Each structure stands twice: as C-alpha cells, then as structure tokens.
Amino acid sequence: MPDTASTPSALPSSVPFNNPLITGKELEYIRQAIVSKRTSGDGTFTKQCQAWLTQQLGCRMSLLTHSCTAALEMAAILADVQPGDEVILPSYTFVSTANAFVLRGATPVFVDVRPDTLNLDESKVEAAITPKTKVIAPVHYAGVSCEMDILKAIAERHNLLVIEDAAQGIRSFYKGKPVGSLGHLAAFSFHETKNVVCGEGGALAINDPALIERAEIIREKGTNRSKFFRGEVDKYTWVDVGSSFLPSDILAAFLLAQLEEVDLIIQQRMAIWNYYHQRLETLEQQEIARRPIIPADCQHNAHIYYLLVENLEVRTALIAHLKRKGIQSTFHYVPLHSAPAGLKYGRTTGELSVTDDLSDRLIRLPLGAGMTLTEAKYVSEEVLAFFNQQS
C-alpha cells in the first residue's frame, strides 16, 4: 500500500519511471503451471485469463497473444488488409499500430490528434478516407478513450473496420462501456510498462462475431486445431494463413494473478495520478504547464501522468533536473509520419501540427502501482522546484 503523503519518512533516493505491483499470487500460479507440465499455450491459465477478459469486456471472444503487437498483426490479417489498402491512424502512437498493417502491404495514413486528449482527431478522419481505406485504428492514449461514437459512425458510413489499439486501455471506459468492446476488434498489451503486466503479453478482443472462427485459426498457425480440441472436427488440418501468436501458459499464470487484482492496481495508480494532478495544478494556473484533460465521457485508468511544458528546451532541462535528483522521467512517442519508415511506408493528410508540437513538449512522470505517495510527493516537489528556479 502507498503510505500517506503526510507520513514523515526519508526522501526516496531514487524513483524508477515504472514500478509495477506484484500482487502476491504470481509465483504460486507460475509454480502450478510448471508442475502441471502443461506449459504451452491455451492451457488452464490461458483459458482463465480469456474468460476474465471476455466477461470484463463483454466481448464475443478474447484470445491471449504474446504481445499487443501480435494482436494487432492478427487484427490486420482478420481485416483482410491487402497491399495498397489504407489504414487511418494517429502519428502519435507506438510503431506497432502502423507496422501491423505495413506488414500486410497497406499504407498507414496519418491523421493529427486532438489537442486535449492527444487521441486521433475524429473531426479530421473523414477527409483522410479514400476508396482504398479499409480500417480506422484509434489509439486510446494514456487509457483515455477516443471519441468512439463519432469514429464508429464514420466507419459505418464508409464500411470500414474499427480496430482499437487498446494497449493502454485495460479497465478504461467510454460512456460506461469498456475500452476494447467498442470496435470490431481490439488489441491489449500486458507488457511490463502497462497497467497489468506479465513481462510480454497481449490479447485480441473480438466484438464482431463474423471474425471469431477465423481468429482462432490464424492464431493456431492456420489450422482448425481449436475446433478439433472442442470435438467439432475429427482431425485438424491447415485451412488458412496463420502464425504462432500464443503465449506460454506460464506467462498466462503470471497474468491471471495480475488480472485478479486489477482493481487494486488501478486504485494505487489512481492515487498517484490524483496526487500529481492536485499538486501540480499551480503550474497550470501560472500557465507554465498543461495537465492531462479527461473528457466527461471517459473514465481513465491512470496509465500515464504527463505534463505539456513550454518547449523542447524546457522539457530537456526538466528531465535532466529530475535525473540529477534520482527521478526517472521520460518523453513519449517520436511521431511516426516523419520517422524514416513513416516517410517510406505512410502518407499524411492535412497538417499534423498538434502532433509535431506536443511530441516535443510532453514529459511523463514516474507512475506505477508499486509506487508510494512519498515518492509522488518527492517527484512533485522537484518538478515545482525546477520551475521556481526558472522564474
């Protein structure tokens, strides 16, 4: 449990950027997976994780994968994206959102983000649609949902698939509905840096029932092995393209222990997030930095606490100041549209001025369910001290 900020205690000597909470059952579940001698994919722990996800998301099916990247690659195959097709996505995202489609020969079409949430700007999506467009891939940055009603309406009008990059979105909600239940498909990440972790891991959530059968096949190397195990066919065989996307049941065992404690994890993160938000309000009042903005329709999951400072120089100096104090802070994405591979494989529509501007100014503060409020207090004080020295 985080101690309270008022408890007198020694200043932390160092604050890591990421500090996940180990909830307690991880090693026992991993032990059980190992002694069962069933350590390959789709064992009992995988099934329990999938049942948990399907129930929590209210999706039609969920499949564990070895990463969110893998889930996005599966989604791109399921969407039947072909060479020359186009996929609309933000430039301010992780490379996998684009790579998954580039691997299928498609062209990522980068659209600017909203200045408030840093999510795909739904008002600019329609202008990017061409006869080749097949998919819209919104990314829920910092676990704050995109404006999904509008994006879904656009997709419906143009007969496009919506693939949510919900890597950061576990236990986030949009108008009361879980992130990951809103598009045709959604990809989650359980990488060490996310809210719920198992080292490397991910999941594909399937909301469109028409995609279920093929999803199982693609994940099982293009075979109907899943049907065979359910007794629906008397032998299994190669029926489609596919690959190996299953994680070992040892990792699923780790993941189950985390999923079972997701409420505690988010509660702990939220305590740190809220502490920063309150303590750093003065920076916004003095127009020194802008804090995260959460729209009324969105319930977030405290995945990221960021500040937007004045410019790149201030950010670089702030990161260096914090580093001298033993505090690890970091910037985030380098925009994809102007990256070497983005220039080679993608194209842009309209100005990406918001993306270009904020990517230089965004700094992420340490945040993790294993972090204490004393650490958050120390970080906040050092952030405030930096700006006091500046003025």
Ligand X SMILES: *Cc1c(COP(=O)(O)O)cnc(C)c1O
**Binding footprint of ligand X on the chain (CB under 6 A):** 67-69, 93-94, 96-97, 139, 165, 167-168, 189, 191, 202
Q: Considering beta carbons, is residue 2 or 90 the nearer one to ligand X?
A: 90
Query: Residues 140, 171: contact at Cβ < 8 Å?
Result: no
Joined together, the tokens standing for residue 340 give 């070497």
Residue 256 to residue 385: CA distance in whole angstroms: 41
Beta bridge partners of 244: 220
Smallest distance from ligand X to CB 18, Å: 12
Smallest distance from ligand X to CB 333, Å: 8
- In order of 49, 180, 236, 260, the CA distances from 53 in angstroms are 6, 10, 27, 11
Residue 71 makes CB contacts below 8 A (sequence gap 6+) with: 63, 65, 187, 188, 202, 203, 204, 245
Smallest distance from ligand X to CB 294, Å: 18
Residue 247 makes CB contacts below 8 A (sequence gap 6+) with: 41, 46, 64, 65, 66, 198, 200, 201
Q: Considering beta carbons, is residue 265 or 383 the nearer one to ligand X?
A: 265
Smallest distance from ligand X to CB 303, Å: 9
Q: Considering beta carbons, is residue 186 or 314 the nearer one to ligand X?
A: 186
Query: Residues 101, 124: contact at Cβ < 8 Å?
Result: no
Residue 143 makes CB contacts below 8 A (sequence gap 6+) with: 168, 169, 170, 171, 172, 179, 195, 300, 301, 302, 303, 304
Q: Considering beta carbons, is residue 125 or 137 the nearer one to ligand X?
A: 137
Q: Considering beta carbons, is residue 97 or 355 the nearer one to ligand X?
A: 97
Which conformational region is residue 221 in: left (phi greater than 0), alpha (psi within -120 to 50 degrees), or beta?
A: left
> Interior CA angle at 315 toward 314 and 318, to 5°?
85
Q: Considering beta carbons, is residue 99 or 107 the nearer one to ligand X?
A: 99
Smallest distance from ligand X to CB 305, Å: 15
Smallest distance from ligand X to CB 95, Å: 8
Residue 68 to residue 205: CA distance in whole angstroms: 11
Residue 337 to residue 334: CA distance in whole angstroms: 9
Smallest distance from ligand X to CB 191, Å: 4
- Catalytic residue numbers read 194
Q: Considering beta carbons, is residue 195 or 374 the nearer one to ligand X?
A: 195
